[in-house]
């Protein structure tokens, strides 16, 4: 007789990968919090800044596609970043539906202070870079399969 595998208890909390992901996301958020507090950013705001540090002057839609967020989330978040003088929001003249997001000098310079963050996270993970990269790729592959189902 075969040993009972976790597949035999599908409703068990500890068997659910979604809860593993959910609770790990919150754990990450708690580790990030004190680091980002120093930058005056929340984690989603930090993600937006990461996008902008890679490429400045993009539309709200582009940020949303990159982060899987919609305007209902981004509009107020971007207004807060603008109020903090980290970004500027301007209507595109070519396509007046679009709002383009550009870094201010303050937003640019925050990048230097942010460089310390990934190292701290890596240390907290207590894990080699190689292991993290492998795990990251697996998780991203899972995410993309989930999103593919949603797109049907």
Q: Can you give the binding site for DNA, defined by CB under 7 A?
A: 26, 29-30, 33, 42-45, 59-61, 64, 68-78, 80, 89, 94-100
Sequence length of the chain is 152
Which listed option, its own copies, DNA, none, makes contact with residue 28 (CB within 5 to 8 Å by class)? its own copies
Task: Starting at the earlier edge strand, list the strands of the sheet with 99-103.
Answer: 58-59, 99-103, 87-91
Q: Which is nearer to DNA, 30 or 38 (CB)?
A: 30
- Under the binding rule (CB under 8 A), the answer on residue 13 touching its own copies is yes
| 39, 53, 84, 89: residue in contact with its own copies (rule CB under 8 A) | 53
Q: Closest distance between DNA and the C-beta of residue 36, in Å?
A: 10
Number of H helices and E strands in the chain, helices first, is 7, 3
Q: Which of residues 28-47 bind its own copies (CB under 8 A)?
A: 28, 30-32, 43, 47
Residue 134 bridge partners (DSSP)? none
Token pair 């209507």 in the structure block, residue: 91
- Both structure tokens of 84: 């903090």
Q: What is the rounded CA–CA span in Å between residue 137 and residue 74?
A: 26
75 touches its own copies (CB under 8 A): no
């Amino acid at each position: 007789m075969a040993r009972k595998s976790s597949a035999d208890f599908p409703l068990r909390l500890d068997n659910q990968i979604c809860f593993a992901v959910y609770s790990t996301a919150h754990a990450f958020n708690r580790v990030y919090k004190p680091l980002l507090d120093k930058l005056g950013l929340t984690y989603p705001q930090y993600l937006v800044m990461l996008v902008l540090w890679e490429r400045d002057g993009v539309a709200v839609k582009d940020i949303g596609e990159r982060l899987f967020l919609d305007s209902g989330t981004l509009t107020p978040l971007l207004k807060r970043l603008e109020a903090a003088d980290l970004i500027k929001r301007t209507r595109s003249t070519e396509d007046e539906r679009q709002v383009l997001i550009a870094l201010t000098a303050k937003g640019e310079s925050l990048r230097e202070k942010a460089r310390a963050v990934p190292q701290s996270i890596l240390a907290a993970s207590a894990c080699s870079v190689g292991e993290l990269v492998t795990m990251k790729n697996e998780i991203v592959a899972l995410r993309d399969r989930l999103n593919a189902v949603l797109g049907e």
